[in-house]
Amino acid sequence: MENLIQPKILKGFRDFLPDAEIQRSLLTEKLTNVFRSFGFVPIDTPVLEYTEILLRKSDGETEKQVFRFEDNGGRDVAMRFDLTVPFARFVAEHKDELYFPFKRYHIAKVWRGEKPQAGRYREFVQCDFDSVGSDSAASDFEILLMMKTALAAIGVTDVTIKISHRGIFNRFLAKLGLKEKSEDILRTVDKLAKIGEEETARLLTEIAGDSAKAGDILKYIKGSDSFESTLALMEEMAGGEADDTKRMREIYAFMCEEGIQDSYKLDPSITRGLDYYTGVVYETFLNELPGIGSVCSGGRYDNLAGLYMKDRVPGVGSSIGLDRLIAGLEQLGKLDAKGSFIDAEIFCLDQSLTGHYMGIAKQLRQNGISCEVFPDAKKMGQQYTFAEKKNIKFGILVKPEDAKAGVLTLKNLKNRETFENITVAEAVEKIKNA
């Protein structure tokens, strides 16, 4: 006999058992429905791409994390680490086949060799939605509205969506004479929530070489009470009204018209670090668990596919980190423990009736009821346990004399309610109305 191989998976990777995968499927389906309801269409791209395509613009951190290798044909290839870079390549490659504004969603796995920790995995699912080809406040607002709508659709309402505008911040830094140092400053401001105000101030003073300027930056990123007063402060500190502040007012006007302005907080400390954003930017935090980081982030960029083509394609988009979100909801005890796609279990009381059981199953399925036939005449206790583990609501029992009479017993396995001697049609009604 061969030696057995220990069945195990790689660190940072996960199996999804049925309960977890049903949960993830239900969440994904709800998100998909929202994306579709806004006119977004799906695309797909390869998991493997030329490393040159994926990594050209990346920072060192990404490069260290990417799963990269030489394939059998000697090509330098890598597994995608996000859905944005492949999307940029996709838009450049297919621009003549697309229609703009091109609005796509893409729900798929990405891979990063990160240090595994709570809520962080080396293989995880991202849900991206982007609208490219329109530089309008309407598009900006649409993405913001979709973030709120999509999260609400999966029961996540206790969130704060923080928004800001990268262009206003850049203008402000230029006015301070710190344009050249903006990368370092962005990197530092991005860490505010993690390292605290004092440490941020110390680092900013070091970078700006001037504690007064550091103080200005702190004042700017702390903002004011309301959306309007914060915007006024940003505008003043950045040197007055411009297209960027006008854009923020337009977005705010859309929010007010829709009556959802309270769901968004203008927070000038949101910058999205070194990313390629140029306009509005946003991050979303679970109010009860802000420490896990943003669960839905994004912003506007003015040149999505600049690495691959000369045409400038502006766009705006957002990404839900589904696995991080699920980890957070689990931690908060806010996920339904068990879902089920199966309505009824037809128990096996008599093996010779299996064909009859299958006939009943067929009728149920024709009426839109999902059901299964237990294939072996195992002990009833075992069969009940099985149905319970699968979270199946109804049991159907048919004895030989029932089969002859064309009736069955329907049992609600949750509350033990039992209906004897009913027809399949009656069972259909009862299951549908349950």
> Does 71 sit near its own copies (CB under 8 A)?
yes
- For its own copies, which is the closer residue by CB, 139 or 188? 139
Tokens of 414: 């949750």
- DSSP annotation string for 325-378: HHHHHHHTT-S-S---S--EEE--S-GGGHHHHHHHHHHHHHTT--EEE--S--
Q: How far is the CB of 33 from its own copies (least distance, A)?
A: 8
CB of 107 to its own copies, least distance (A): 10
List of residues 6+ apart from 263 with CB closer than 8 A: 148, 161, 255
The stretch among 155-163, 290-298, 382-390, 395-403 that binds its own copies (CB under 8 A) is 382-390
Rounded to whole angstroms, the Cα distance separating 276 from 169 reads 14
Segment lying near its own copies (by CB under 8 A), choices 135-143, 163-171, 193-201, 238-246? 135-143
Instruction: Out of 258, 288, 330, 429, point to the residue binding its own copies (CB under 8 A).
Output: 258
Show the binding pattern over residues 32-61: x = contacts its own copies (CB under 8 A), - = does not: ----xxxxxxxxxxxxxxx-xx--x-----
Q: Which of 81, 172, 252, 254 binds its own copies (CB under 8 A)?
A: 254
Q: Could you please report the per-residue DSSP string of 267-305?
A: -TT---TTSS--SEEEEEEETT-GGG--SEEEEEES-TT
Residues 6+ apart with CB under 8 A from 274: 59, 183, 186, 187
Each residue 329-368 as x (binds its own copies by CB under 8 A) or -, in order, gives: ------------xx--x--------xx--xx--x--x---
Candidate segments 100-108, 169-177, 182-190, 415-423, binder of its own copies by CB under 8 A: 100-108
- Alpha helices (H) along 66-181: 84-94, 137-153, 166-175
Phi-psi region of 293 (alpha: psi -120 to 50; beta: other; left: phi over 0): left
Q: Which of 148, 172, 166, 167 is nearest to 158 (CA)?
A: 148
Using CB under 8 A, which of 82, 184, 372, 426 touches its own copies? 372
Which residues inside 309-328 make contact with its own copies, applying CB under 8 A?
Answer: 309-310
Two tokens, residue 289? 């668990």
Q: Which residues contact 30 (CB under 8 A, 6 or more apart)?
A: 150, 153, 154
Alpha carbon separation from 208 to 42, 181, 215, 222 (Å, rounded): 45, 8, 10, 18
Q: With binding defined as CB under 8 A, does residue 113 bind its own copies?
A: yes
Tell which one of 59, 64, 232, 423 touches its own copies (CB under 8 A): 64
Provide, rounded to whole angstroms, the least separation between the CB of residue 172 and its own copies.
28
The reply on whether position 116 binds its own copies by CB under 8 A is: no
Taking CB under 8 A as the criterion, which residues in 142-171 touch its own copies? 142, 145
Q: Which of 27, 31, 83, 104 binds its own copies (CB under 8 A)?
A: 104
Which one among 27, 31, 77, 292 touches its own copies, defined by CB under 8 A? 77
